[in-house]
C-alpha cells in the first residue's frame, strides 16, 4: 500500500543520477508525460502509469508540471537585526558594499545584532523564514554561521540550525563560517582570530557535530589567502567538507584555494578570470552562483553562460542574508538566472536541484525525481517549464511535498 499517489501529472521534468551535471549535460533532463508518482514512507516508490498498488491518498495534479523540490545551497538565514539604512547608502551611492565592511559595519553590524539575540530569539526569528522558503518550493536549505565570530556565538547560531532541522519540515545542512570577517576585538591581531578558529572553534564545533561544511569569505574585506588557507586546512583535518566564498568583489584567488583543497564548491565567482575557471574545472569544484547578490548590490554578474560552455557544473542559490541578498525566494533567483545569466530553463532547473544538492553533498538523497530518492516534489501552477521562468508573477507553487508530506498547497486537495 502506497501512502500517496500523485496522478495526472501533465509533465514531469527531472535530471537523473546523483552527480553534478556540466557542459552539454548541464541542461540534460528526462521528460515524462501523463505520469503518476507513488510515495511510501517519504520516499519515491514508483514513477509510471497508474500503479497497480493502492494508496491511502490520491492527489490529482490536473495536468500540471512537476519537478523536484528546490535546493537552496547557499544562505546565511540565521541572523539578528537588519541593514536597511546601509542599503540606502549603497543605493544612493554614499558607500560601496566593501567600504561599509571596511568601515566596521556591514557584516559586523549583523554580528553585533546577532550577538545580542538569545538562541531562542534567533530560533523564533528563523521559523517564518523557513516557512516561507518551503512555500516557494525550497525543500532543503544550507545555512551558514558567521554572524557570531566568538566560540559561544558561532555555536549559538549552529545550535539554532540544528534545532530547526530537528523541528521544521525543511531539511537544513549546516556550514561553519567563523572565517567571515575578522571581528573588532582581533582587528590588530588577525592571526589570533585565525588561531581561535582553527584551534578552538573548529574542534569544538566538530566535537558537537554542529556542522558538515566549513566556508570562508576569501576577499580583501574578509580573510586573505593565507588566512583562508589556514582555516580550510584546519577544517579539512577535522573532516569538514569545504566551501569557499571566492572572487566576489575582486579576483581574490579564492578559486585557487577551492581547487587546491578540492572544495565541494566555490561561491560567487563574479570576478573569476579564465585561470580561476580552469583550476576549479580541473578539480571538479561546483560553481555556486548567486545572481541576487549581484542584482541587489548593483554589481556585475558571474559569467554563467561561459562557465557552462567551459564545462563547469553550475548551481544557483539565493545567498539569503541581511546585507547582500534579502531574498530567499528561489523562484526569483531562477528567473534572474534566466533573464540575466541567459541560462536555459532546463539548465536552471538542474542548477537549483541536482547540482545544488551535490553542492551540499546530498546528490544521492535529493535533487531528482527517481525511485529511492526523498519525495521532495513540487506541483506547479503551470503546465510548462518555460512558463515558470517566463512570468515574474507571484508564487507559482501549487503543492509542495516535503519527504512525502504536503508542506504547502494553494489548491483544494
Ligand atoms: O555571500 N560576502 C559574504 N557573505 C555574504 C554577505 C553577508 C552580509 O553582507 O551580511 C555573501 O554575500
Ligand atoms: Fe554568502
Q: What is the pLDDT of residues 268-304, one digit of tens each?
A: 999 999 999 999 999 999 999 999 999 999 999 999 9
Residue 83 CA: nearest ligand 1 atom is: 10
Taking a C-beta distance cutoff of 8 angstroms, is the pair 285, 256 a contact? no
Confidence (pLDDT) at 170: 98
Whether the pLDDT of residue 413 is over 80: the answer is: no
Ligand 1 atom nearest the C-alpha of 248 is 2
Rounded to the nearest whole angstrom, what is the distance from the C-alpha of residue 323 to the centroid of ligand 2? 10
- Dist. CA 280–CA 275, nearest whole Å: 9
Contacting residues for 313 by C-beta, under 8 A, at least 6 apart: 20, 21, 22, 26, 284, 286, 287, 355, 358
| Res. 17: pLDDT tops 80 | yes
In the prediction, which pLDDT does 8 show? 97
Q: Is the pLDDT of residue 262 over 90?
A: yes
Q: How confident is the model at residue 101 (pLDDT cuts 50, 70, 90)?
A: confident
Q: Which of 49-58, 100-109, 116-125 has maximum average pLDDT?
A: 116-125
- The percentage of residues in the chain with a pLDDT greater than 90, rounded to a whole number, is 94
pLDDT greater than 90 at residue 102: no
Confidence of residue 222 (pLDDT cuts 50, 70, 90): very high
Q: Could you tell me the pLDDT band of residue 36, with boundaries at 50, 70 and 90? A: very high
Cα three-residue angle 381-386-390, rounded to 5 degrees: 85
Cβ-Cβ contacts under 8 Å for 144 (sequence gap 6 or more): 74, 75, 76, 174, 175, 176, 177, 180, 215
How far is residue 193 from each of residues 213, 220, 231, 311, measured CA to CA in Å?
Answer: 19, 16, 10, 37
Mean pLDDT taken over the chain:
97
DSSP state of 184: G
Q: Is the dihedral of CA 302, 306, 307, 308 positive or negative?
A: positive
What are 71's three cell numbers?
535546493
Nearest to 167 by CA among 120, 116, 212: 120
Closest CA to 272 of 242, 234, 301: 301
Residue located nearest, by CA, to atom 3 of ligand 1: 217
207 contacts: CB under 8 Å, gap ≥ 6: none
Q: What is the pLDDT of residue 393?
A: 83
- Segment 197-218 mean pLDDT: 98
How far is the C-alpha of 394 from the C-alpha of 165, rounded, in Å? 27
- For the CA of 323, the closest atom of ligand 1 is 9
Residue 328: the pLDDT is: 98
DSSP 56: E
Of 368, 372, 367, 394, give the one whose Cα is nearest residue 381: 394
**Segment 304-319, tens digit of pLDDT:** 999 999 999 999 999 9
Is the Cβ atom of 244 under 6 angstroms away from ligand 1? no
Pairing mode of beta strands 2-14, 55-60: parallel
- Residue 87 has a pLDDT of 95
Cα distance between residue 247 and residue 322, in whole Å: 20
Taking residue 152's Cβ as centre, other Cβ atoms within 10 Å add up to 9
Amino acid at each position: 500500500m502506497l501512502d500517496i499517489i500523485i496522478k495526472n501529472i501533465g509533465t514531469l521534468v527531472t535530471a537523473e543520477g546523483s552527480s553534478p551535471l556540466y557542459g552539454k549535460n548541464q541542461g540534460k533532463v528526462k521528460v515524462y508525460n501523463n505520469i503518476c508518482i507513488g510515495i511510501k514512507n517519504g520516499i519515491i516508490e514508483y514513477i509510471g502509469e497508474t500503479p497497480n498498488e493502492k494508496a491511502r491518498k490520491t492527489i490529482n495534479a490536473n495536468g500540471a508540471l512537476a519537478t523536484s523540490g528546490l535546493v537552496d545551497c547557499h544562505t546565511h538565514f540565521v541572523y539578528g537585526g537588519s541593514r536597511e539604512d546601509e542599503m540606502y547608502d549603497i543605493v544612493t551611492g554614499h558607500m560601496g558594499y566593501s567600504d561599509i565592511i571596511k568601515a566596521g559595519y556591514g557584516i559586523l553590524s549583523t554580528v553585533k545584532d546577532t550577538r545580542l539575540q538569545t538562541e531562542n530569539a534567533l530560533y523564533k526569528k528563523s521559523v517564518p523564514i523557513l516557512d516561507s522558503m518551503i512555500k516557494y518550493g525550497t525543500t532543503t536549505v544550507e545555512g551558514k554561521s558567521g554572524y557570531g565570530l566568538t566560540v559561544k556565538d558561532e555555536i549559538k547560531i549552529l545550535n539554532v540550525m540544528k534545532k530547526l532541522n530537528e523541528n521544521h519540515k525543511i531539511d537544513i545542512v549546516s556550514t561553519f563560517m567563523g572565517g567571515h570577517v575578522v571581528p573588532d576585538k582581533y582587528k590588530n591581531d588577525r592571526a589570533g582570530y585565525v588561531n581561535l578558529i582553527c584551534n578552538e572553534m573548529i574542534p569544538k564545533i566538530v566535537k558537537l557535530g554542529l556542522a558538515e561544511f566549513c566556508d570562508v569569505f576569501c576577499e580583501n574585506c574578509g580573510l586573505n589567502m593565507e588566512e583562508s588557507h589556514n582555516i580550510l586546512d584546519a577544517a579539512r583535518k577535522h573532516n569538514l567538507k569545504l566551501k569557499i566564498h571566492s572572487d566576489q568583489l575582486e579576483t581574490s584567488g579564492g578559486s585557487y584555494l577551492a581547487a587546491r583543497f578540492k572544495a565541494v564548491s566555490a561561491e560567487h565567482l563574479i570576478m573569476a578570470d579564465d585561470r580561476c575557471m580552469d583550476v576549479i574545472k580541473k578539480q571538479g569544484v561546483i560553481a555556486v552562483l548567486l545572481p541576487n547578490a549581484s542584482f541587489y548590490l548593483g554589481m556585475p554578474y558571474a559569467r554563467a553562460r561561459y562557465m557552462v560552455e567551459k564545462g563547469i557544473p553550475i548551481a544557483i542559490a539565493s545567498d539569503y542574508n541581511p546585507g547582500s541578498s534579502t531574498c530567499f525566494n528561489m523562484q526569483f533567483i531562477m528567473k534572474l538566472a534566466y533573464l540575466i545569466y541567459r541560462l536555459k530553463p532546463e539548465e536552471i532547473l538542474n542548477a537549483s536541484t541536482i547540482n545544488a544538492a551535490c553542492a551540499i553533498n546530498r546528490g544521492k538523497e535529493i535533487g531528482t525525481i527517481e525511485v529511492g530518492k526523498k519525495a521532495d516534489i513540487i506541483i506547479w501552477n503551470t503546465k510548462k517549464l518555460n512558463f515558470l521562468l517566463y512570468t515574474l508573477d507571484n508564487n507559482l507553487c501549487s503543492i509542495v511535498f516535503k519527504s512525502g508530506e504536503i508542506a504547502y498547497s494553494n489548491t483544494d486537495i
